[in-house]
Structure 1
Amino acid sequence: MSSTDAAAGNRNRTVAGFRGLAAISTVAFHVWQQYFRYDAGGSHPPVDNPVIGAALSLEVIDLFFVLSAYLLTLSYARAAIDGRSTRTARHFLFRRAIRILPLYVLAVLVVWASRNPTLPGNWRDLVEHLTFTHVFDQQRIFYTLGPTWSLSLEVLFYLVLVALGPLAVRACRPLRRRRTRVAVCAAGCLFLFAAPLAWIAVAHYGFGVPHTDWVVYFGPQARFGGFAAGMGLAVLTAALGDRGRLGPRTALPLVAFALAGLFALSLDSGPENFTFTFYHPIASVLWLVLIFSTLHVRQQTFWQGFLSSRWLAAAGLVSYSLFIWHEPVMLQLHQAGLLPAGQSGFPLALLIVFAAAVPVATASYWLIEYPASLLGRLKDHRGRPRDFYPEPATR
């Protein structure tokens, strides 16, 4: 195995570890929500121990956004800055569709049907979830599969990326100086990050929109900053190339800074204060620092070793299925009376939900996700159908 292949393998294992950590944290966050409800102002519910409360209320959805945007934008950034080739939009969307849709559509149909035994049922909820438009509905944004409001933003990001990515490549092609191409790409990412900041500031301070107006604060106009941060990280990585890789003495303090910053942000995120209002843009920047100081290094640190551990890799493998199924599993356990009552029952409830959700997610991965991923072999890197039966060579 070459050094390049080894580096790619290490990066893939580390990314899987990030996904595993994020999926585990998401499950804990939603079980915690079930036992400690949000207050009327939309702020995180109080916990007697503020340290535990901050750890539980640490939202990792921005990590998903930053990481996804970084990985998907990297090829466009390299094409714009160094003239490398990119996959076609058709191939990109095809790969994204087979990654997202089979499991998502099945889960939506199953969960919706179980909650709407007679037709037409809440047909609008079904239509909105199948079209990824429920994030724009104040009433139904968290219906059926509550956490999947974020998938609506993911799908919108895919459409934005296939439009802006090639545009950036074409805009940079005539520019002779590499430094200018980097600046153009960075400026675009900065604009995409600043626009949601302006939206949030105007909505909150200008019009006094409450934080419980989900469409205003959960829609793409407010949450695209996480994707923009990931796009900026891709530009930074492409600009640096193999240069500027961090040594352990620099990487580990940056990792500690980012983790401490995320914890402090969650600890200080009280109702109506600045950090609560701008929690997600600030968190996105800290996730950017954490991912950069983890992946853009010269040698593996113990932090990378932790992320590459087998149990996190296993969690990362089934992270999408765990993300999709954990809430229906939790609610089914609750309705069946299998979760302990009262806030004191939260630790045991967390163990029960994990014990039930992880096997479901594992079965979902091998029965749905993995077979669907094989469809990706039907097209080549240019998005054209593969010829699996080539003509025999002539003599």
Structure 2
Amino acid sequence: MTATGTGPRSEESTAARSKAKELQGFRGIAALSTVVFHVWQQYHVYDAAGSHSPVDSPYLASLLSLEVIDFFFVVSAYLLTLSYARAAIDGGSTRPGRLFLFRRAVRIVPLYFLAVLVVWSTRNPQLAGNWQDLLEHLTFTHVFDRAQIFYTLGPAWSLSLEVAFYLALVALGPLAVRACRPLRHRGARVAVCAGGCLLLFVLPVVWVAVARYGYGVPHTDWTVYFGPQARFGGFAAGMGLAVLTVALGGRGRLRPVPATALAVLAPAGVYWLSWDSRPENATFTFYHPLASLLWVVLLFAVLHVTGTVRWHALLRARWLTHLGLVSYSLFIWHEPVMLQLFRWGLLPGRPDGFWWAVAIVLLVAVPFATASYWVVEYPSSLLYRLRDGSGRRRDFYAGAVTR
């Protein structure tokens, strides 16, 4: 590295920060899409004549009803699997599982528990209330209860899957590292990691296929199609992306033109899945694994590219990266905010007031999420400092590290 800090390592660090900003921008887009999607669901009318979209255009309806939860799964799995993939393929060490779980816990639990307790108490003002619902949400097991899965915090069913993934990763990650250490050839280590990711992706697909076509389980049986046994494929796809990027290293980077083409085609493919998403179609049944693969293509086209891609500057826009920064708080609070505004009569009536409702919910939910980030999320993240890199507890008063 040169004295001015412009050497190869400085350039790599700058590139890494740029990619982190771009991922944060994508999170912002996905968070915005999630809010619009749930307002769209709230304004969708179901009656004896069938369902009625809050917008007239079927093309726009397909865009508004596009689900992006698999994107969050893919990004989360990619980022969290990278260290294990590097250790398994190129050697090195990983942080203890207890440290990983501790950091994940201080990242998601304080805000989640606060939101669950606040929302549950407002909807159960008299004791004893629905204690089963509260217990299941606090233990992340509500995804296994068909009646309670969308209670209290509807979108939070996905956090049950996140927690299941964390537990799976701290078990499978070190196992993959140990399995790869005796292998002398790098290609063999890559094959072991890629094969494991492929297996984890295929098993949920088989589960869904057997449930749908073997036993005819209706798509409204939430515990069958929303549990980790059905949705783990999104995480497996993200794990596969981590293995792929580590395996390639600096090789095979895309030029700006093909990278942009893939970045356009991938979300276009997800849009087509949404357009063709009717219960009788295979694209409906396998929407989530297919969408996960397309999100992998999109992320690969953004992360594994060489040269300057001009449109990436849009992802680094301050307003978008801000939404990405507060995306977890926005994800947690936007539904309670929307429902409370609706109860207070502050949202226009169905279905013609949809776009006004989107604007009002965003105008309230985004500042609320920003305050939530700085008041709850950021302070809780400082708990990271309670443990060092080896997972041992820091003794700040003695100036030492203790077990």
Common fold: TM-score over 0.5: yes
Decide which of 274, 277, 286 is 1:269's aligned counterpart: 277
Q: Could you tell me the percent identity over the aligned residues? A: 69
Matched to 2:229, the amino acid is Q
Distance 1:226 1:268 in 2: 20
Distance 1:391 1:47 in 2: 61
Q: Which amino acid aligns with 2:94?
A: T
TM-score w.r.t. length of structure 1? 0.96
Counterpart check, 1:328 vs 2:355? no
Q: Is the 8 A contact 1:51 1:267 kept in 2?
A: yes
2:370 corresponds to which letter in structure 1?
A: T
Which residue of the other structure, out of 78, 89, 111, is the alignment partner of 1:81? 89
1:358 to 341, 348, 366: 366
- Select 2:131's aligned residue among 109, 114, 123: 123
Q: Which TM-score applies when normalising by structure 2?
A: 0.94
**Which residue is equivalent to 1:371?**
379
Cα shift at 1:44: 9.7
Q: Are 2:179 and 1:171 equivalent residues in the alignment?
A: yes
Q: CA deviation at 1:12?
A: 1.1
Q: Does structure 2 conserve the Cα–Cα contact (< 8 Å) formed by 1:196 and 1:221? A: yes
Deviations 1:33-64 (A, max 9, x none): 00014789x99958531110111011000000
**1:44 and 1:270 in contact (8 A); partners too:** no
Aligned mate of 1:233, from 233, 236, 241? 241
SS of residue paired to 2:164? helix
Please report how far the alpha carbon of residue 256 of structure 1 lies from its aligned counterpart in structure 2 after TM superposition: 1.2
User: Whole-Å Cα distance in 2 between the matches of residues 6 and 195 of structure 1?
Assistant: 39
Between 1:95-104 and 1:243-252, the stretch displaced more is 243-252
Partner of 1:49: 57
How many residues are aligned here?
A: 391
What does the per-residue CA deviation read over 1:317-376, in whole Å, with 9 as the maximum and x for residues that have no partner?
A: 110000000000000000000100021100000000001101110110000000001111
- Give the whole-Å Cα distance in 2 for the aligned partners of 1:44 and 1:390: 65
Q: Which runs of 5+ in 1 are unaligned?
A: none
The residue number in structure 2 matching 1:35 is: 43
Partner of 1:245: 253
2:390 corresponds to 1:382: yes
Partners of 2:205 and 2:157 in 1: CA distance:
20
RMSD of Structure 2 on Structure 1 (CA): 1.7
How far did 1:268 drift? 1.2
Residue 385 of structure 1: how far off its partner (Å)? 2.1
Cα pair 1:340 1:349 within 8 Å, conserved:
yes
**Residue 69 of structure 1 contacts residue 228 of structure 1 at CA under 8 Å; is this kept in 2?**
yes
Letter in structure 2 aligned against 1:88:
P
Structure-2 separation of matches of 1:258 and 1:245: 17
Q: 1:212 to 1:187 in 2, by over 3 A?
A: same
> Structure 1 CA distance, aligned partners of 2:96 and 2:113?
25
The code of the aligned residue for 2:127 comes to: L
Q: Structure 2: which 5+ residue stretches go unaligned?
A: none
Aligned to 1:135: 143
Evaluate the alpha carbon distance shift between residue 92 and residue 391 of structure 1 in structure 2; reply closer, same or farther with a 3 A threshold.
Answer: closer
